[in-house]
Structure 1
């Protein structure tokens, strides 16, 4: 009989965490204990710890008492309210994210849990994508650390120091632009585009492309990230290694826009640049009316649906820029050679997630 492994999942209500929870709940031999500020209705009380990761004493009490955790997936992140993009360079945000991880790992290491593996997340900002005009293509994990301040480095240095004399291992995943199913996430273009489309539908308008000039991008489906987490948890090839991860192809927003329109059952419009972030103040009442008119299961408060994802999507679409930003393309050869081969067509990903949002009554 296979011994059950127990996953402690941080950031369970976020865009990555939701997918990880759903995937691990389908796997034999695993149980999941989720951690977050507020328990969602679809997670039972005995499978959830309500916890503020910035509260060190609360973390000590709650996590230090655990005795059966074998795996940790840390998908929690602090993003500065109202200043998502600017926050990436903010020293206070870096300090908070560093301290949150310490508040988790310090009591876990002192506990009696038989810890085997920890998964941590970074992203393309590890290559300086937010501070450089051009990141060399393709970005590779073997490169020397890019010289800039980043909470990634604070967390990674702490993790490596903890692991040096421990029996557990860690894996760092660096996803490209993340797409998935989570309301209120700060970086989920699916919710942002979906709300924009619903408002356009309500106005009797086609789905105009709101972004800027064409730019080559890479996407990653959260379901693919969840599968990679399961692989990393038990694959020695992943241990104490860092991996880029994406869907396996590239995309240009303008080229996939017809597929997005199809997935939302909307006629395609023209290229009409518009800052989606303006929806927060200009169309908050419209969104509330849409929720009521269609009997949607989404919150009437638009901010609870999109978080800071509207501004994030503007940034990813290069809205308002006179020159398209240079592409950031990561190599995913390393993770494939290590044994993780799953992939998904990015257009299929868009069809899937917009179909799920509509099926679940989150969009018309």
Structure 2
């Protein structure tokens, strides 16, 4: 595919949510000498200060702490770089109890960042990548008031499936980006369960399981599967954060990828039932194999 090349000015990235699983992998990938159109100049941002564990392989050219939900704070912190940034990699999220609240807060965050970067006198902003996920096809599964009545799409999930008739902050963010076309382009990246390394990520399933296993070992409890019978028995897939990062970058610099959505998974499937039987067993914790009545 044809890539967007600029020999005079190197692209400058702003990763919003750089301390999450996808954000860390993006920082590492963009700074790599083998990155498409790279290595890039990279600014990373998060709501909290740079953590001491932030890896040297993800070293950014500038780390910016700001609250994207606060327009004044966003303007103050991003204005100094607003004339530099060419690409925004949006991997940020704030989670509320209801999906209506998720729509409001996440849409406000993205709108504030775009407002500041696009209003710069010499704005170079050309593309934004948006990290979403399978909630696009399943509906707001984390909203207890909505989840009981959800009727999701049947797999396999295809990018051209119609939207579901439920509130979904992914839809709101896509619509917001589309409203800025043609002054900038965008791409949407729909992952499955993300596998990556970050203690700050809200949805770090591997870290959650590791903490759960540690608690079970400490208490001498059985390491029981914490999910449902359905997830125990049915196929699942995952998305490596490093693969996601490569897809983000590819779409950001490839002309034919403008204003499109892409699924991104590792390509293999598994069941939690088969995985659980392969996990190491501590003698104090006990066997991991579960009988049907032990499932939730």
TM-score, length of structure 1 as denominator length: 0.66
1:107 to 116, 133, 150: 116
Q: State the distance in 1 between where 2:72 and 2:197 align.
A: 32
- Runs of at least 5 residues in structure 2 that lack an aligned partner in the other structure: 1-6, 142-146
Moved more, 234-243 or 22-31: 22-31
Q: Secondary structure at the match of 1:162?
A: coil
* Structure-2 change in CA distance of 1:137 and 1:208 (3 Å): closer
Q: State the distance in 2 between where 1:178 and 1:274 align.
A: 29
Moved more, 204-213 or 22-31: 204-213
Instruction: Judge conservation of contact 2:19–2:46 (CA < 8 Å) in 1.
Output: yes
Is 1:29 the counterpart of 2:45? The answer is no
Alignment match, 2:3: none
Is 1:91 the counterpart of 2:126? The answer is no
1:137 to 155, 159, 183: 155
Alignment match, 1:306: none
Q: State the distance in 1 between where 2:60 and 2:29 align.
A: 19
Deviation, structure 1 residue 269: 2.2
Alignment match, 1:151: 169
Q: State the distance in 2 between where 1:156 and 1:94 align.
A: 11
Instruction: Judge conservation of contact 2:15–2:90 (CA < 8 Å) in 1.
Output: yes
1:19 to 18, 25, 35: 25
- Runs of at least 5 residues in structure 1 that lack an aligned partner in the other structure: 81-86, 276-318, 321-364
Deviation, structure 1 residue 2: 7.1
Q: State the distance in 2 between where 1:195 and 1:20 align.
A: 25
Deviation, structure 1 residue 10: 0.2
Alignment match, 2:249: 230
Deviation, structure 1 residue 248: 0.4
Deviation, structure 1 residue 207: 4.5
Q: Map 1:110-125; keep pairs closer than 5 Å.
A: 110-111=119-120, 112-125=122-135
1:52 to 67, 70, 88: 67
Alpha-carbon RMSD:
2.7
* Structure-2 change in CA distance of 1:268 and 1:134 (3 Å): same
Instruction: Judge conservation of contact 2:42–2:61 (CA < 8 Å) in 1.
Output: no
* Structure-2 change in CA distance of 1:258 and 1:21 (3 Å): farther
Alignment match, 2:79: 64
Instruction: Judge conservation of contact 1:12–1:18 (CA < 8 Å) in 2.
Output: yes
Deviation, structure 1 residue 52: 0.7
Per-residue deviation, residues 317-339 of structure 1 (Å, max 9, x unmatched): xx62xxxxxxxxxxxxxxxxxxx
1:170 to 186, 190, 194: 186
* Structure-2 change in CA distance of 1:201 and 1:159 (3 Å): same
Instruction: Judge conservation of contact 1:210–1:274 (CA < 8 Å) in 2.
Output: no
TM-score, length of structure 2 as denominator length: 0.80
Deviation, structure 1 residue 255: 0.9
* Structure-2 change in CA distance of 1:104 and 1:190 (3 Å): same
Q: Secondary structure at the match of 2:180?
A: helix
Q: State the distance in 2 between where 1:107 and 1:119 align.
A: 17
Corresponding pairs, count = 265
Bigger fraction of residues in helix: 1
Deviation, structure 1 residue 257: 2.0
